[in-house]
Amino acid sequence: MKMPMTVRKPVRGAAVIFLAASVLAVYSAGSMAAASEDGATLYATCAACHGKDGGGLRDGTVPAIGGQPAAVILKVLEDFRAGRRRDLRMQHFTDAEHLPSTTALQAIAWHVAGLKRTTPAAQGAGTHLEVGEREFARACSACHGAGGAAVAARGIPALAGQHASYLERKLREAMLPRNTLARSHGVIVSRLAEGQGAAIADWLSRQPGP
């Protein structure tokens, strides 16, 4: 009974990623620059939480987003807008009142992609980095890559250089039945031993970010 759901969901996700990449591909170099300039104005609202450099908050409540690929940012914005991802703040600020068009979403995506982070990533204790590296390679690298870099073509954001506190929080949330990460990450996270999630987050926070 579960097979149809397992088959359909990647197809729908792939379609969203394809559309995002296709929309971004139509820009010329000049229109990309114009979109990024418009995005700087629109991003002012985002900067209240994410910071001017896209560095987020070190307490883990807001992720670092600066330098993420534009296709990844666009997909995330569209997912919040459509309710595929849930966060009251993000769903509010990506609605049609705040971002009235797809062009506005694209403009922010290009702007964020061009940000250079100056906010250092929050790190863990650094006592079990070898465990984090090993468990990431075993449990996560098949999708996220060897170093946790972004996989823009699949809409996968960079985890490298992200705040350890944020990554730890997302791992905990993946265990909640109604969380949007639960279906894709719940089983994987459930198989981690105590402390391994924190070790993975700590190791990733020390890798070169986007």
100-119 confidence digits (pLDDT tens): 899 999 999 999 999 999 99
Looking at the chain, the domain(s) classified CATH 1.10.760.10 span 3-113, 129-205
pTM above 0.85, yes or no: no
Q: State yes or no: pLDDT of 124 exceeds 90.
A: yes
- Alpha helices by DSSP H, the chain: 3-25, 29-50, 70-82, 88-93, 102-113, 129-139, 141-144, 164-173, 182-190, 196-205
- Say which residue, 58 or 9, is predicted with more confidence: 58
For residue 197, with 0-12 CB atoms within 10 Å meaning exposed, 13-18 middle and 19 or more buried, which class applies? buried
Q: State yes or no: pLDDT of 17 exceeds 90.
A: no
The stretch 164-178 carries a mean pLDDT of 95
Q: State yes or no: pLDDT of 29 exceeds 60.
A: no
pLDDT for residue 37? 67
Mean pLDDT, the chain, rounded, equals 87
The stretch 52-77 carries a mean pLDDT of 97
pLDDT for residue 183? 87
Find the Cα–Cα–Cα–Cα dihedral 85, 86, 90, 94, rounded to 10°. 60
Other beta carbons less than 10 A from residue 205's beta carbon: 27
% pLDDT > 70, the chain: 82
Output the DSSP codes for 34-72: HHHHHHHHHHHHHHHHH-TTS---TTSSS---TT--HHH
The stretch 76-96 carries a mean pLDDT of 92
What CATH architecture is 3-113?
Orthogonal Bundle (1.10)
Superfamily (CATH H level) for 129-205: Cytochrome c-like domain (1.10.760.10)
The stretch 151-164 carries a mean pLDDT of 95
pLDDT band at 180 (very low <50, low <70, confident <90, very high): confident
